[in-house]
Amino acid sequence: MQSLTISLPDDWHLHLRDAQALRDTVPAAARQFGRGVVMPNLRPPVVSVSQALAYRQRILATLPRNQTWEPLMTLYLTDNTPTAELREAKASGQILGVKYYPAGATTNSDSGVTSLTRVHPQLAVMEELGLPLLLHGEVTDPDVDIFDREAVFIERELTPLTKRFPGLRMVLEHVTTSEGAAFVAAAPPHVAATITPQHLLFDRNQLLAGGIRPHYYCLPVLKRDSHRRALIAAATAGSGKFFLGTDSAPHPRALKETACGCAGCFSHHAALELYALAFERAGALAQLEAFASHHGADFYGLPRNTGTITLHRNAWRLPEELELGGEPLIPLAAGDTLPWQMTERSAGATA
């Protein structure tokens, strides 16, 4: 096969940052996708509907005129989120879901939830409203090994949560383990997961063997290869519960290459090409369109996109360096050669 045309994909989990950075991140997000679910972990975090709508305007102001792309906004859940704010979020029609960060788990998560039990009133209202909970699924207990934090979260927090709120719509964002994939596969249809390109392509050796490679450091951290293979199986099985979410999370080079570097990989320079490589290696290119372009829209009850993108088999070398708000940024898989390259995008964002 020399070319592959699929419905225009959506990115169900991404980070755009703010201010100067938007000039680089917004066009990159709009290049290959029809819509993107914009994470709220700014400083300060996006905790109110008015903040989310103002952020949405700043994003749209940097969208190039010739690009059609829709930001789908999220709210950052805190211990003190008023339930009235959740009702307003639903009523606004612009807020797709509410993001749970365990306090201290990842980049800009200091205002996150200190314990899920403290937000039971908010979760009850979200369950009633059909407002999805987007989960950063890791415990932050310092006694739990960083490689076990997702599996322990599922056992200690997520399993009880699904019993207490059986109707709550949930997405286990950037799932990284066989335990996570198995949990979602066995859960009811209103529980789903997103998967990043790095977790489909790389294991922890890529991060740590033969030298530490900070540009492969993200959270949840890359796991051993058996987990990567479980994610490949989940993504390529045709199940509507698993869909594309790049977790593209840019940090300037200087904040990655340092004694205590930030977590996050930027992947919007080649997101579809990276997924295509992972799917092709698994002999499952035919499943790419459903994963990238159908399952997420179906889960969220949104129309599938009407446009298309085309990838060609054409070996190309990924850039070594890009820019983020005037500072150098090293993208995921910098300098690697990929077999597929996007060559065309046809008009049409959403139906």
- Residues at the contact surface with ligand NCD, assessed by CB under 6 A: 15, 41, 106-107, 136, 218-219, 247, 249, 263-264
Catalytic one among 10, 24, 203, 247? 247
132 binds, among ligand NCD, Zn ion, none (CB under 5 to 8 A by kind): none
Q: Six-digit token pair at 12?
A: 């169900």
Of the pair 253, 294, the CB lying nearest ligand NCD is at 253
247 in contact with Zn ion (CB under 5 A): yes
Stretch that binds Zn ion, among 42-50, 141-149, 204-212, 240-248 (CB under 5 A): 240-248
Chain residue at closest Cβ approach to ligand NCD: 264
User: Where do we find the tokens 């904040």?
Assistant: 255
d(CA 83, CA 62): 32
Which of the stretches 183-191, 245-253, 271-279, 329-337 binds Zn ion when contact is defined by CB under 5 A?
245-253
Q: Rg of the Cα trace of the chain?
A: 19
Neighbour-count burial of 297, counting CB atoms closer than 10 A to its CB (0-12 exposed, 13-18 middle, 19+ buried): buried
**What are the φ/ψ torsions at residue 173 (nearest 5 degrees)?**
-70, 150
The residue type of 286 is: A
Q: What is the closest distance, in whole angstroms, from the C-beta atom of residue 116 to ligand NCD in the complex? A: 17
Nearest approach, Cβ of residue 185 and Zn ion (Å): 22
Measured from the CB atom, the residue of 192 and 342 that comes closer to ligand NCD is 192
136 binds, among Zn ion, ligand NCD, none (CB under 5 to 8 A by kind): ligand NCD
The residue range among 44-52, 71-79, 241-249, 272-280 that interacts with Zn ion, by the rule CB under 5 A, is: 241-249
Cα-flanking dihedrals φ and ψ of residue 218, to 5°? -145, 175
**305 contact choice in ligand NCD, Zn ion, none (CB below 5 to 8 Å, kind-dependent):** none
- Min separation Cβ 335 and ligand NCD, Å: 21
CA dist 326 and 332 (Å) reads 18
Nearer to ligand NCD, 140 or 310 (CB): 140
Least Å distance between CB 106 and Zn ion? 7
Q: Which helix (H) or strand (E) holds 297?
A: helix 295-300
What ranges make up the beta strands (E) of 153-273? Answer: 170-172, 191-195, 242-244
Residue 218 binds: one of ligand NCD, Zn ion, none (C-beta under 5 to 8 A by kind): ligand NCD
Q: Which two tokens stand for residue 261?
A: 């570097």
Q: Determine, following the binding rule CB under 5 A, whether residue 24 of this chain makes contact with Zn ion.
A: no
Q: Let me know if 247 is a catalytic residue.
A: yes
Question: Two tokens at 156?
Answer: 């200690």
| Residues 6+ away with beta carbon under 8 Å from 117 | none
Which pair of tokens denotes residue 230?
Answer: 């479980």
**Residue with the closest Cβ to Zn ion?**
247
Q: Which of 180, 173, 166, 185 is nearest to 123 (CA)?
A: 166
Query: Quick check: 273 binds Zn ion (CB under 5 A)?
Result: no
Which residues lie near Zn ion (CB under 5 A)? 247
Supply the residues annotated as catalytic: 247
